[in-house]
Amino acid sequence: MIRHVNDQQIGGVIRAVRIRRRWRQRDLASRANVSQTMISKIERGHLGGIQLDLIRRVCAALEIRVELEARWRGGELDRLRNARHSALHECVARSFALRSAWTIAPEVSFSIFGERGIIDLLAWNPDRQALLVIELKTAIVDVNELVGTFDRKIRLAREVAIERGWAVGPNISVSGWVIVADSRTNRRRLQDHAAVLRAAYPMDGRGIRRWLMEPTGSIRCLGFWREQEETRSVQRTTAVQRVRCRRTASIRGAI
């Protein structure tokens, strides 16, 4: 894995792993579907102007994982990111406070069979024996990681609920809802992965509103959250009519 390094160090790591595999530059170029000249340029640390996707492709051929880290004014970026997440968390939690049928638990940590993590919001409807795992995203970075990590949380949610002392019966349904902060960047990012998201989360924001009132069966949903529209909606009614998820034709099934 490559992280916290400069351009020259990235090139050095790629070169070292290539040599360890006893590959020539043209061998790596063939496997990554790039030119040998490009491999030489990368290994010398001349990454300016090279697309990130190309660098990832070269690293993938060597089974090297690349992680990017954005930094800004020391710890200010972390505080800004956490503040956005906390604001979204509070907005969603307030909406559930109006749903008397649902009990909600925030920031639920778990450690089951060696698997650890934190569920942003865990909602429980005891009358309908419906458990809902909610994942909050202010920014979309890695769609594949999102799908994989969230699937693990849904899979372990029943055991998490039992550990909390909730009266979980044999006919419990476990559902998942990914809530994404509405922004042009997030919409563009999800649009780029529409097919994957449509398969993973077939229900949209309108569907989840109906399901929350009548939670029958297990669902998977992804939708955008607009706090301003949520506030206006709460003022109009206490019914479940609050998530606004504008859809486009190509991602109609996911968002």
Strand order of the β-sheet with 103-112 is 103-112, 115-125, 130-137, 173-181, 220-225
Query: Coil, helix or strand for 150?
Result: helix
Bridge partner list, 135 = 178
14: enclosing H helix or E strand: helix 7-20
Instruction: Look up residue 123 and give its amino acid.
Output: A
154: enclosing H helix or E strand: helix 143-163
81 or 95, higher pLDDT: 95
pLDDT the model gives residue 71: 63
Distance CA 250, CA 178 (A): 19
Residues contacting residue 146 through CB under 8 Å, at least 6 positions apart: 135, 137, 140, 178
Distance CA 181, CA 6 (A): 31
Residues contacting residue 204 through CB under 8 Å, at least 6 positions apart: 221, 222, 223, 245, 247, 252, 253, 254, 255
Distance CA 152, CA 163 (A): 17
Above 90 in pLDDT, residue 126? yes
- Percent pLDDT > 70 in the chain is 81
Above 50 in pLDDT, residue 239? no
Residues contacting residue 125 through CB under 8 Å, at least 6 positions apart: 101, 102, 103, 131, 132, 215
Distance CA 221, CA 254 (A): 7
pTM (two decimals): 0.63
Distance CA 175, CA 132 (A): 5
124: enclosing H helix or E strand: strand 115-125
Bridge partner list, 108 = 119
Distance CA 235, CA 225 (A): 17
Q: What is the pLDDT of residues 16-36, one digit of tens each?
A: 999 999 999 999 999 999 999
Average pLDDT of the chain is 83
Find, among 72, 53, 60, 55, the residue nearest to 7 by Cα: 55
pLDDT the model gives residue 5: 63
Tokens describing residue 91: 């907005």
| Mean pLDDT, range 178-197, rounded to an integer | 90
- Beta carbons within 10 angstroms of residue 64's beta carbon: 17
Instruction: Look up residue 222 and give its amino acid.
Output: L
pLDDT the model gives residue 75: 52
